[in-house]
Structure 1
Amino acid sequence: MPPVSEIILFASLLIAAGAVAGILAGLFGVGGGAILVPVFYQVYGLVGVDDAVRTHVAVGTSLAIIVPTSIRSFNAHRKRGAVDMKILKDWAIWLPLGTILASAIAAYISGAALRTIFAVLSLLIALRMFLNRESWRFGDQMPGGFLNAVAGAGIGLFSGLMGVGGGVLSNLWMTLWGRTVHQSVATSSGVGVLISIPGLIGYAWAGWGEAGLPPFSTGFINWITVLLVIPVTLMTAPVGVRLAHAMSRRQLEVGFGLFLVAVSARFFYSLL
């Protein structure tokens, strides 16, 4: 058993991460996973979690924590009338399907591969946020049919591999089709609900019986982390929602971009 000082440090870091993640969930329409995954990766390393499963546990546990955080954020945005429910209904099958595929892939790829996916996607999306122009649109109406299905499944797939609630990618997709950033943020909180629940189930299955898992884990879900972090994220998510509605479109874009650059840099550094 680790020394008491290490346990206290572990708990303190997780609680701090939960507070930041909750604010980000409301502010950017993400489930908080983009901050939780790199923080969990670092904290698990401090307490000696096996490198072979460390990234997987960080991603899977992040998705588990996103479940209540996304629900809380979604309800707060919906009360303000900012959520486009039609988009969520159109993606109700495709988002979970992509997330389940992600968990199946995660069962076979390395932690370094997961971190690379996370870093590259974060950087690309950050660049889009910094260089955004009003003219950069595919159209003024969200597509339906096959393209809509591919978009939903793709968002679920890559979000599941990153351990995020889908806000990162769905924000990008919706703004390219003429949605305002505020409406995209609000609707993305609902995307997080559709991704995180199948993600929790999938990562629990994907890591079942793996060696080197931390204590009290079901597959790649660590329940100690879940129990410590969820209460904090639930308390702080409404703070982020209030901040989001007080900021301009450009402020949200630049803030989101800076945040993603920092996350990407951290994971690229971990690959050295």
Structure 2
Amino acid sequence: MDFIVNHLQTILVLAASGVFAGILAGLLGVGGGIVIVPVLFFLFQGFGVSAESAMLVATATSLATIIPTSVSAIRSHRAKGNVDETLLKRWAGFIFVGVLLGSSLVTQVDGRWLAMLFGIIATLSALNMLFRTAKSALFSQLPAMKWQGVMATSTGFFSAMVGIGGGTISVPLLTLFNYPAHKAVGSAAAIGLIISVPGALTMLVLGNTPTDAPVGTIGLINVIGFVCIVPLTVMFAPVGAALASKLDAAKLKKVFACVLLFTGLRMLGQFVL
């Protein structure tokens, strides 16, 4: 009880980020990691953690939270027939290799490089949401298997590096090749599970806890953050899905894209400027 009282502010902010991530995931179809990573990154710095350490812990903790939320999302998308099992069988091995490479590298590199990489991915993702239309496919179909292998490996590698579930990268990448958007989103939930399990375990086992890491950190995963975020993300994702049928999700997505663009540029500016 004393622990809860002493860290009440932290717990409340973490819980709020779980609610926010869950609603956005259900409302806009964006992965929770794209929300959770920057929230944790700035939150931990507010508690005196260095930016480098904050990014390492935010990345690993975000991956851990994606595990249960992906399981919940997979069930929902599979019930609607939107999970492409054939694509997953082709991509799973490549994604796994990319994740192992990316998550192992996270345990070795300076957190500032991860923050800059996240800033770049968030900025590109925001620009994609703002300016790309549903009919802007550049190719008529997916490329040959060797190039799909490159796509899958890259998705696993970069997603693990910045603590996101893969949808941020895989959905726009697949739809570039005229892949059905609803199948891309549904399959991205399964891709998130393939990314998050080995990625989180690698950072838990191989990660060296920074000396200034926030309380409750094991390896690179902040257990308090995980416990506070996960239940509320799972609980509020259906709320977001229900709101999507009542609100103009397209306009809300544009607003979120602007916020994401600002966040990505701010993370870049913290180290570049």
Q: Does 1:174 align with 2:174?
A: yes
Q: Does 1:37 align with 2:37?
A: yes
The structural deviation recorded for 1:124 is 1.8
Task: Find the counterpart in structure 2 of residue 160 from structure 1.
Answer: 160
The structural deviation recorded for 1:209 is 5.2
Q: Does 1:100 align with 2:124?
A: no
Q: Is the 8 A contact 1:27 1:243 kept in 2?
A: yes
What do you get for the CA RMSD once the two structures are aligned? 2.6
The structural deviation recorded for 1:238 is 2.0
Give the Cα–Cα distance (whole angstroms) in 2 for the partners of residues 167 and 87 of structure 1.
14
The structural deviation recorded for 1:237 is 1.7
Distance 1:95 1:156, change over 3 A: same
After superposition, residues 26-65 of structure 1 pair within 5 angstroms as: 26-65=26-65
Bigger mean CA offset, 225-234 vs 86-95: 86-95
Aligned residues: 271
Give the Cα–Cα distance (whole angstroms) in 1 for the partners of residues 144 and 6 of structure 2.
52
Task: Find the counterpart in structure 1 of residue 218 from structure 2.
Answer: 218
Q: Is the 8 A contact 1:67 1:197 kept in 2?
A: yes
Distance 1:209 1:241, change over 3 A: same
Gapped runs of 5+ residues in structure 2?
A: none
Task: Find the counterpart in structure 1 of residue 77 from structure 2.
Answer: 77
The structural deviation recorded for 1:150 is 0.6
Q: Does 1:189 align with 2:189?
A: yes
Distance 1:101 1:235, change over 3 A: same
| Structure 2 letter corresponding to 1:49 | V
CA displacement, residues 205-232 of structure 1 (integer Å, 9 cap, x when unaligned): 3413543333332210111111111111
Distance 1:237 1:3, change over 3 A: closer
The structural deviation recorded for 1:259 is 4.6
| Structure 1 letter corresponding to 2:203 | Y
| Structure 2 letter corresponding to 1:75 | R
Task: Find the counterpart in structure 2 of residue 129 from structure 1.
Answer: 129
Give the Cα–Cα distance (whole angstroms) in 2 for the partners of residues 67 and 114 of structure 1.
21
Give the Cα–Cα distance (whole angstroms) in 2 for the partners of residues 134 and 140 of structure 1.
14
Give the Cα–Cα distance (whole angstroms) in 1 for the partners of residues 80 and 149 of structure 2.
28
Bigger mean CA offset, 185-194 vs 253-262: 253-262
Normalised TM-score (structure 1): 0.88
Q: Is the 8 A contact 1:6 1:47 kept in 2?
A: no
Distance 1:175 1:246, change over 3 A: farther
Q: Is the 8 A contact 1:204 1:220 kept in 2?
A: yes
| Structure 2 letter corresponding to 1:53 | S
Distance 1:198 1:28, change over 3 A: farther
Bigger mean CA offset, 128-137 vs 110-119: 128-137
CA displacement, residues 160-186 of structure 1 (integer Å, 9 cap, x when unaligned): 111110110011111101123333222
| Structure 2 letter corresponding to 1:90 | R
Give the Cα–Cα distance (whole angstroms) in 1 for the partners of residues 70 and 150 of structure 2.
23
Normalised TM-score (structure 2): 0.88
Bigger mean CA offset, 49-58 vs 185-194: 49-58
The structural deviation recorded for 1:155 is 0.6
Distance 1:148 1:58, change over 3 A: same
